[in-house]
Amino acid sequence: MAGQILIADDLSLNRTVLRGKLTSACYRTLTANGGVSALKLVHEHRPDLVLLDYHMPDMDGLAVCQALRADRSTRDIPVILFSANADHAHRLNALAAGADDFMAKPLDEAYLLGRIRSLLRNVARRDEWRNHPNTALQAGLAESAEPFAMRPDMALVTGRAEAREGWLSSMAAIWPDARWHDITVPAALGLDDPRKSPDVFVITPDAMDRAGLHVIAELRSRAATRHAEICLILPPAARADGAMALDLGAADILPLPLDRAETRLRLEKIISRKRCADAQRRALENQLGLAAFDPLTGLHNRSHALAEFSRAVAQKNAEFALLLIDLDRFKDINDQHGHNTGDEVLRQVAQRMRQDLRHGDILCRYGGEEFLLAMPDADMSVARLVAERLCARVGDHPYILRDGLAKLRVTASVGISVHDAPGRALTTDILKRLIGASDMALRAAKHAGRNRVVSAQSAVA
């Protein structure tokens, strides 16, 4: 269930007031009258977000937050700490303990709700693929990226040229290890390549005065910057803008005057999140790649190759050919030399075959020791030529294996079929008949003694 928030405060009146606010904002609530029961309720109910009073007699909010962060099963739950005392030490301790935000009491309702929405939105986005049965993806998602392995690239968005140096030196003093540079709003919106985008845009008040809150929406809408994080430096009086900025997609608000340690912690948190989001996109990309490529040989896999073949054929107005290539007596290699050796042979065979492809030919591992070569633009004579060349390439030289300890000779048999009705689309039916015809030709090659090419007797119409 979504939208459940735990409120922990030792004063009953405070709990009631906060509960009222959250209920009218349509959240379900749980309440705890102390730190110990808060921890217990988190473990029992897994709320979506936790609001903690800083000072509670039995166990303070800080300790609760630290306990949540130390436990694998609760460390990703968003936490906001609040206290009537909002001095430097309180703010800093809260953020250092891993809280996502610290807010002063009395709580600004609009800002609190904006912050809650922003944190819940992040969680929903992060968990988007968490229930997919692909466990390798899950492992990738769960892997915590090393946030500072790469130097953070921070762009300070400035409005007036004369204010630039001042901002840059303040920020560099706050986080000297990050790479700081300044950028104007037009230059930021003019970025045309995601690889040139900084990790974070830090928008200064003078840039904001000119460009307005829309600059957040602008950065979010442009392809080059949509994955960058955005934060705003705002005077405390502009809290209402802050809530709207969070709703528009800003990651955080840095309150003026900038406290060094607090600002540093907030920026580090943004970078952690950015690295995590990047790592998740990479995990998705990798899995999508696994869906398309055979991990052993690096060739296309079957379904991917056939999809690409159809697409390529649709763009040509020519005959097309399909070759099935099967390694001879490959089973013996696996049986006699083990699967590691067999795998290495497959890798090397794929490498050799790849050298002889024409531009546009699609080679895939069809399964086991069988390969399929789809030629979107080839008649029988061309296909035959390529097949003879492949056969020779595979069989002419022995394979050096196990660091030179073994030398094996491997040959291949090839069956070819062509489609002779140029300009027709590659239907499932035609594909099936092509594969069937090539398979029959391949079996004829095997029966005729292997290590040879046989063409189907007639073209597939």
CB of 125 to its own copies, least distance (A): 8
CB of 447 to its own copies, least distance (A): 8
Number of other CB atoms surrounding residue 223 within 10 Å: 11
Q: Which of 362, 387, 370 is nearest to 455 (CA)?
A: 387
Which of residues 265 and 324 has its CB atom nearest to its own copies in the complex? 324
Which residues on neighbouring strands pair with residue 415, listed in sequence order?
A: 324, 454
- Six token digits for residue 253: 């608000």
Burial 426-435 (b: 16+ CB within 10 A, else e): beeebbebbb
CB of 138 to its own copies, least distance (A): 8
Which of residues 192 and 396 has its CB atom nearest to its own copies in the complex? 192
Which residue in 262, 319, 344, 369 is the catalytic one?
369
Q: Cα 331 from chain centroid?
A: 39
Which of residues 62 and 243 has its CB atom nearest to its own copies in the complex? 243
- Six token digits for residue 286: 């990798």
Which of residues 93 and 197 has its CB atom nearest to its own copies in the complex? 197
Which of residues 67 and 123 has its CB atom nearest to its own copies in the complex? 123
- Six token digits for residue 172: 């560099």
143 is catalytic: no
Q: Cα 381 from chain centroid?
A: 45
Is 222 within 8 Å of 189 (Cβ atoms)?
yes
Q: How far is 304 from 112, CA to CA, in rounded Å?
A: 48
CB of 175 to its own copies, least distance (A): 28
- Six token digits for residue 376: 């979107």
What's phi and psi for 344, nearest 5 deg? Answer: -65, -40
244 to each of 110, 188, 247, 430, how far by Cα in Å? Answer: 9, 21, 5, 57
Peptide bond into 255 cis (omega under 30): no
Instruction: Name the one residue in this structure whose structure tokens are 């473990």.
Output: 43
Which of residues 84 and 124 has its CB atom nearest to its own copies in the complex? 124
CB of 457 to its own copies, least distance (A): 16
Q: Which of 108, 262, 383 is nearest to 252 (CA)?
A: 262
Q: Which of 239, 379, 406 is nearest to 322 (CA)?
A: 379
CB of 215 to its own copies, least distance (A): 9
CB of 120 to its own copies, least distance (A): 5
Which of residues 121 and 407 has its CB atom nearest to its own copies in the complex? 121
DSSP symbols for 206-223? HHHHHH-THHHHHHHHST
Kindly list the catalytic residues.
369
